[in-house]
Amino acid sequence: MIVWHNGALVEGDRPVVTAADRGLRYAQGVFDTLLLQDGAALDAAAHLARLARHAAVLSIPLPFTADAWRGAIADLTRANGAGAGRWALTTLVTGGPGPRGLAPPPEPAPTAIISITPAPEPRPLRAIVATSTRRNARSPLARVKATAGYADAMLVLAEARAAGADEAILLNTEGRLACCTIGNLVAEIGGALVTPPLEDGAIDGITRGGLIAQGRLAERGLTEADVRSAQALYLCNSLRGLSPLSLVPGA
């Protein structure tokens, strides 16, 4: 597999990050994943705008223009023969190399890596409501696709797998539902589709935002009791759209 690294196409197994990279040392990094369908990057403008917003939270300037990013996607698609079918395209941007210490260097040189992998067809998922950890809704990272923010997701996914489930729903520290590990939570309650608000720790998903803009989805604070009595549950993200979600009995 070929990846794009700071303007060049390189073999995916070639080392491209140094030991001094702040993404490795301090998890100063953000990423975005979109669906590449038959060579078209779906909702590309919205994904790039969100990546820029999230990078700014961690003081990372994007090291490419919109045109350069789109050109990189086109080059990467051709290099990997990804012009047909479903592919997941991930853009990762870190703070780049820097000296020891939490403060970013005065002139940052971010690292950017874009990769493509096959995207499986969506399928129904079984989930638990996680108990091993909770999402800190008051942290800015709760609303950012930051590499640091996914440690909690990895912990609760391990909890889900141990319970025979595919996915986990996270509660926040105040006892309200926030999101799933890989996307937004959507519940059908009273015939309407609702999703936790951003202030409860939900990520600002692109598909979520599109459904809200279309009037098909509304924000509402949700409790564990709400999802256990909901008419239907869904996981919502850019690769899966709205995928049916069911709770593992007794979990």
For the chain, give every domain's residue range.
2-118, 125-247
User: Where does the pLDDT of residue 249 fall: very low under 50, low under 70, confident under 90, or very high at 90 and above?
Assistant: confident
Q: Is the pLDDT of residue 241 over 80?
A: yes
Q: Which residues pair with 241 in a beta bridge?
A: 237
Q: Is the pLDDT of residue 12 over 70?
A: yes
Was domain 125-247 assigned CATH 3.20.10.10?
yes
Fold of 2-118: D-amino Acid Aminotransferase; Chain A, domain 1 (3.30.470)
Beta-carbon count within 10 A of 97 CB: 19
Q: Residues in the chain, how many?
A: 251
Instruction: Record the tokens describing residue 62, joined without a space.
Output: 């994007």
Average pLDDT, the chain: 95
CA-based R_g, the chain, Å: 19
Residue among 30, 18, 16 at smallest CA distance from 98: 18
Q: What pLDDT digit, counting tens, does each position of 125-173 carry?
A: 999 999 999 999 999 888 899 988 888 999 999 999 999 999 999 999 9
User: Where does the pLDDT of residue 251 fall: very low under 50, low under 70, confident under 90, or very high at 90 and above?
Assistant: low
Please list the alpha-helical segments (H only) found in the chain: 22-26, 44-57, 66-79, 151-162, 206-213, 224-229
Long-range contacts of 149-155 (CB under 8 A, 24+ apart): 153/181, 153/182, 154/181
Q: What pLDDT digit, counting tens, does each position of 173-206 carry?
A: 999 999 999 999 999 999 999 999 999 999 999 9
| Phi, psi angles (nearest 5°) of residue 94 | -110, 170
| Residues 49-55, mean pLDDT to the nearest whole number | 97
Determine the pLDDT at residue 14.
Answer: 87
